Amino acid sequence: MSKIGIFYGSSTGSTSEVAQRLAKALGAEANVFDVASADAADVAGFDVLLLGSSTWGLGDLQDDWEDFLPKLAEQDLSGKKVALFGCGDADSYPDSFCEAIYKIYEGLASSGCSFIGAYEPEGYSYDATQTEQDGKLIGLCLDEANQSDLTDERIEKWVALIKPEL
């Protein structure tokens, strides 16, 4: 299996907890970093990056990503596989659910990386979101505020989806 780096930004702890759960689901090969204290150059040692953010307001990135994302985009990500994950609130923000991961996607689109982990949005209750592209969510979207009972199942399915690409 490839060397996996999980980089997340979290304000309330939900995305941090999800990052730890993803690391456990993937096994000992995954290293976890909080972007608040990570150096963007840390990504050089990994073949696969899992990048996660909580979504704030109407689709905004978690604060720590505001500084980290431009620095990450300056890194050589050629040949790296990137999978996105995030937390959002589909009930309160049904038109911008988990859009922070779309901001990461957009920020890294020309970086040379390839994105993995898109899947069918079954069982979600949002109205619309930029995170859905061509009928698929671009990454793992979790609603810890309203659907936390589905988190374990969603993580399990998503990890099973991306593992063959690792």
Helix, strand, or coil (residue 15): helix
Indicate the Cα dihedral angle 19, 162, 156, 49, nearest 10°: 0
Residue 60 per-residue DSSP state: B
Helix, strand, or coil (residue 126): coil
Q: What is the pLDDT of residues 36-58, one digit of tens each?
A: 999 999 999 999 999 999 998 88
| Residue 87 neighbours by CB distance under 10 Å | 30
Beta pairing partners, 132? 137
For 138, counting Cβ atoms within 10 Å of its Cβ (0-12 exposed, 13-18 middle, 19+ buried), the class is: buried
Q: Which of 56, 61, 66, 67 is CA-nearest to residue 84? A: 61
Range of the domain at 148: 4-165
Query: Residue 46 maps to which CATH number?
Result: 3.40.50.360
Q: Which of 45, 60, 68, 27 is CA-nearest to residue 160? A: 27
Say how many domains are in the chain: 1
- How confident is the model at residue 47, as a pLDDT? 93
Q: Which residues of the chain have pLDDT under 50?
A: none
Sorted by sequence, the CB contacts under 8 Å of residue 122 that are 6+ apart come out as none
Q: What is the pLDDT of residues 57-79, one digit of tens each?
A: 888 899 999 999 999 999 999 99
